[in-house]
Structure 1
């Protein structure tokens, strides 16, 4: 499953994503990974949640981010949920170019039984690509 949360910058998406991850850590048996472009949310997450910042990695495009996610999943087969905070901040590409990434995330989700929760900064819901709208919570 993929679930996308979209709203304008500064609307509280990160806080809600952190709250969701923290609440899920008590409910699921597997592991949770939280990915962000900086280390600010690290101390807001429960210690059971693996926090990873992308600051030290050179993720240039959606393809490299997909490889990054595959590497994370290959290192831990017990991951049940991955939270991605600010996809637009992690990857510099345009949102319409992310169609292939979301197609591959669908496949990863099914193959490895992992749920993805993704925050996206978007000022106007109507301008969001159709392939993402089907995942919006």
Structure 2
């Protein structure tokens, strides 16, 4: 499953992701990973949520990012949810690339029973109908 938290910069997407991750870790049977572009939210996340600073891994395109996610899941088969914030600081993501990423995440999630929740710097009105169906 892939869900998108949409909104322009400064609309509280990160706060929403942190709240959801902290709520989910209390009721989730598996593990949760929170992928960010820095460590600034380390103290806002429940200590059971695994914070991963993706900037430390030289990710610069969708293929690298997909491989990175595969590695995280391979290392921990109990990962149930992966929250992804500030993806635009990692890779260039226009609308076409966003749909490609969603497709890759859908396939990965189906194969390993993992959900992906991403913050995306687009408003609902700015995304195509194909992407809109993933909006939360």
Q: TM-score range by the shorter chain?
A: over 0.9
Contact 1:36 1:90 in 2 (8 A): no
Q: Which residue of structure 1 aligns with residue 129 of structure 2?
A: 130
CA deviation digits over 1:46-72, x for unaligned, max 9? 110100011212111111111110010
Give, in whole Å, the separation in 1 of the partners of 2:39 and 2:129.
31
Secondary structure of 2:135's partner? coil
Gaps of 5+ in 2: none
Q: 1:132 to 1:110 in 2, by over 3 A?
A: same
Tell me the TM-score normalised to structure 2 length. Answer: 0.94
Per mean C-alpha deviation after superposition, the further-off stretch among 77-86 and 88-97 is: 88-97
Q: Which residue of structure 2 aligns with residue 87 of structure 1?
A: 87
Contact 1:81 1:115 in 2 (8 A): yes
Matches within 5 A, 1:1-137: 1-122=1-122, 124-137=123-136
Give the length in aligned residue pairs. Answer: 136
Query: CA RMSD, aligned part only?
Result: 1.2
Give, in whole Å, the separation in 1 of the partners of 2:79 and 2:42.
18
Per mean C-alpha deviation after superposition, the further-off stretch among 25-34 and 89-98 is: 89-98
Structure 1: 4+ residue segments shifted above 6 A = none
Tell me the TM-score normalised to structure 1 length. Answer: 0.93
Shift of 1:126: 2.6
Q: 1:129 to 1:62 in 2, by over 3 A?
A: farther
